[in-house]
Structure 1
Amino acid sequence: MLGRGPGLPVTNAAIPRPTPPHPHSRAEDAQGIAFGAVMSAFGAFLLGSAGLITGQLAGLSLLIAQATGFGFGPVYLVLSLPFYGFGYRRFGAGFLRRTIAAVLLMVGVSMALPSLVGFRALHPGAAAVLAGAISGAGLLALFRHRTSLGGIGSVAMDLQDRLGIKAGWVQMGFDTVLFAGAFLVLPWQRVLWSALGAAVLNLVIAINHRGDRYIA
């Protein structure tokens, strides 16, 4: 350590102190959660309109919806239920409340979008890349506000916090299994386009969701 001068003792004033983190306000949390939920819903809508899927629980929900004819929103809501207990035990009641709010908003928006938005032309490659970027930005906003959309997101956040494994890589492992199964249901071209979109999404999360850089 460096003192204040020759022969002078080291004082607390000579030691730089880190700036304490500035937590998000409730209003900031609300807008971040709303943005993340709406962008995630729009990303899923893009993929569904092009006959594609994505990764994580949303991808499994899209796959089931396309195979059965059920709506994406209700399927996602049912599949996410088992993960709420895990999120509560690991992150607490606040995380659970925010996650439930985000999921309900995302499901509601996804059910409303077909009557509000339509496409005259939608190339599957464009849908994949745009949906990956949009959904990645949405999930990143949710993660920054200590929220997820349930499912694999909460597991990925837990592993990153406890073990230092990046959330994006955890999600990519789940996606590998999901897309392997998708080849049994969808044409291989649609699966490959879907995998491109999932790769874009996971790269956005892996590069930008860094606990060593962002504290809020």
Structure 2
Amino acid sequence: MMSYPVTFTVTRPQKLDRVQLLVRVLLLAALSLAGVTAGFVMMLVYLALPAMASALVYQKGSVRFLAEDGPRLTRALAWLEAAFAYLFLLTDRLPLDRPAETARLDVDPTGAPTAKGALLRLFTSLPSVIVLALLFCVAYLAWLVSAVSILFTERVPAGVYDFQCGVLRWQARLFAYHASLVDQYPPFAFDPGPMDGTPRDHASTFA
């Protein structure tokens, strides 16, 4: 995997529970009826992160923003990624307590963000957002394959599991950049797989 100051890892379970599959089907159905879809969440996060980062940087400056608000923003993003991992059928564990034990987000904050630069990321991140939207379209089909596989075998095919992990890794990098936690533009590189392992020693871990 190419070097980037944001890493997202998922611990792959040996088996996935059929009852938990039913729970997620019902949960997704309820959320859809309420108008809360993956697209809605993506749009909300897309608009909120730069606005929030811009206001905080303007108020505190880049150093205090990364030191004080960076950990809070990263914890929120870590919970969001863990929730997506649960809904994507990558784990049976709800992100209610210690989500990092199942799906872990690590950020090594870089750069000196500005209030204006934070808002500009609404536009500069568009190419990555478009690719992510296309990946999500494929992820919906992969979800159906995963659901059928869990129903019959209590497992997800390795290729499908790796693809879903890669989609969430792309999303995690994009969100961290969008929140002005890192300066480097998220790479247009699809890194699949759970990528289990110990995070880098030098990284600042806020999960």
Q: Same fold (TM over 0.5)?
A: no
With structure 2 as the length reference, what TM-score do the two structures score?
0.29
> RCO greater where, 1 or 2, for CA within 8 Å and sep 6 or more?
2
Higher helix share: 1
Higher strand share: 2
With structure 1 as the length reference, what TM-score do the two structures score?
0.28
